[in-house]
Amino acid sequence: MKNISKRFTIAIIHRNGFRRLKAALDSAINIAGKSDEILIIDNASTDNSMEKIEQDNAYKNIKIIKNSCNTGYAYTCNQAMSQGNGKYFLLCNNDIKLPKNCLSDFEKIFIDFPESGIIGGQLLDVNQNMVGSYSKAPTFFSELDSIGRLRSPERYQTIHEVGTLRGACLAVRRSTVESAGMMDEDFFFYFEETEWCTRIAKNGWKVLIAPHIKITHIGGDSTKSVYHGSRIEFFRSRLLFWHKALPSHLVIILYLWNIPKLIIDGCFYLIVTILTLGLNIRMRNKLLDRVVVLTWLLLGKPKKWGLPGKC
């Protein structure tokens, strides 16, 4: 049994982006007490960001774990939970800023709600506008993608049980991890937190949103330069989630519906792109998304396609 010597293990998952990492790290240092620890897990960054952190004396007490290749988000979160000494874990993207007192706020919820297993805060964009931070658990009907899609949950004002949380910043009990298991490393990027939340709920724990804990999340920067590769990763993870969460006959139906839908969507965005002479960047990107994903599917879902630098 691992010796639990800390309250929180704050883990920042990083791949490239020194300024984002520094902002996230500074916010973590500002809220961490003597009973907490901070880890950085680096997924083979190529921009010298880790060298800059290591050379800065302000971060000399931060534990750093370096991977030699891009292992994916679930794997690095599991590394943090395996090597961290906290009673609780706070798993963070490198593009978030943690608010003052959030560790005490998360701890209070864990104490006040003994059945709570994993908690998310309300995410804010750079302009401090609220963005989607939770949703209902996916179902066969919601995965039909606009056919029978379930209504999005209301915007809760108080702590509330939800189906799944967005994985930018998650607080989880060690005992929950020991009970329900760690993240599924079959997921490289996307849907890992969705599968984890649904599995945690199936093991008798509650998935909670705490809207009073407001966390700034830049969002999208880690995949902005490799956008189309990220869409392949999204679709790959979505297919994997279907196979893990749904009976085989429902997975077949989803395939039979979603592949033609990609073609129909592609034709629609092609027409719009032609009519707008290619000047509507949003429509043009949606067309390219469909073309890239359809090509990937028709070529047998090549493993090498997607985000770069993968193990």
pLDDT at residue 65 greater than cutoff 80: yes
- Mean pLDDT for all residues in the chain: 91
Q: Mean of the pLDDT values across residues 194-218?
A: 96
pLDDT at residue 149 greater than cutoff 60: no
- State residue 21's pLDDT score: 95
Q: What is the pLDDT of residues 209-250, one digit of tens each?
A: 999 999 999 876 555 567 778 889 999 999 999 999 999 999
Q: Which of 199, 203, 195, 286 is nearest to 239 (CA)?
A: 195
Specify the residue for token string 């973590």: 28
C-beta of residue 174 within 8 angstroms of C-beta of residue 8: no
Measured between alpha carbons, how far is 170 from 119 in angstroms, rounded to an integer?
A: 6
How large a percentage of the chain has pLDDT more than 70? 95
Q: Which of 229, 217, 263 is nearest to 94 (CA)?
A: 217
Measured between alpha carbons, how far is 172 from 119 in angstroms, rounded to an integer?
A: 6
Q: Which helix (H) or strand (E) holds 199?
A: helix 192-202
- State residue 145's pLDDT score: 67
> DSSP letter string over 72-99?
-HHHHHHHHHHH--EEEEEEEETTEEPP
Q: Which helix (H) or strand (E) holds 269?
A: helix 248-275
- State residue 307's pLDDT score: 81
Q: Mean of the pLDDT values across residues 61-77?
A: 93
Specify the residue for token string 């939340």: 197
Full-model pTM: 0.90
Between residues 175 and 152, the one the model is more confident about: 175
Domains and CATH numbers, the chain: 6-219 (3.90.550.10), 223-298 (no CATH)
Q: Which of 72, 18, 7 is nearest to 50 (CA)?
A: 18
Helix pair angle (248-275, 227-245), 10° resolution: 160
pLDDT at residue 151 greater than cutoff 60: no
Cα torsion 15, 18, 23, 27: sign? positive
Q: Mean of the pLDDT values across residues 262-275?
A: 92
Name 42's Cβ contacts closer than 8 Å, sequence gap at least 6.
14, 15, 49, 50, 64, 65, 66, 67
